[in-house]
Amino acid sequence: MPGRLKHSVTRGVFGRGMAFEDTCREAARVGCKGYDLIGPADWPTLKKYGLVPAMYPPGPGGTIPEALNRKENHERIEKSLHAAIDEAAANGVPNIITFSGNRKGMDDREGADNCVASLSRVKAHAEDKGITVCMEYLNSKVNHKDYMFDRIAWGVDVMKRVNSPRVKILYDIYHAQIMDGDIVRNIRDHYQWIGHFHTGGNPGRHDIDDSQELNYRFIAKTIADLGFTGFLAHEYSPEQGHDPVATLSKAMEICDV
Per-residue model confidence as pLDDT tens digits over 152-201: 999 999 999 999 999 999 999 999 999 999 999 999 999 999 999 999 99
Per-residue model confidence as pLDDT tens digits over 33-74: 999 999 999 999 999 999 999 999 999 999 999 999 999 999
Q: What is the pLDDT of residue 102?
A: 98
CA distance 114 to 68: 7
- pTM confidence score: 0.98
CA distance 126 to 123: 5
pLDDT tier, 1 (very low <50, low <70, confident <90, very high otherwise): very low
Per-residue model confidence as pLDDT tens digits over 77-131: 999 999 999 999 999 999 999 999 999 999 999 999 999 999 999 999 999 999 9
Q: Do the Cβ atoms of 251 and 212 come closer than 8 Å? A: no
Domains parsed from the chain with CATH numbers: 1-53+205-257 (no CATH), 56-199 (3.20.20.150)
Q: With helix as H, strand as E and coil as C, how does the chain read? A: CCCCCEEEECHHHHCCCCCHHHHHHHHHHCCCCEEECCCHHHHHHHHHCCCEEEEECCECCECCCCCCCCHHHHHHHHHHHHHHHHHHHHHCCCEEEECCCECCCCCHHHHHHHHHHHHHHHHHHHHHHCCEEEEEECCCCCCCCCECCCCHHHHHHHHHHHCCCCEEEEEEHHHHHHHCCCHHHHHHHHHHHEEEEEECCCCCCCCCCCCCCCCHHHHHHHHHHCCCCCEEEECCCCCCCCCHHHHHHHHHHHHCC
Q: Do the Cβ atoms of 223 and 159 come closer than 8 Å? A: no
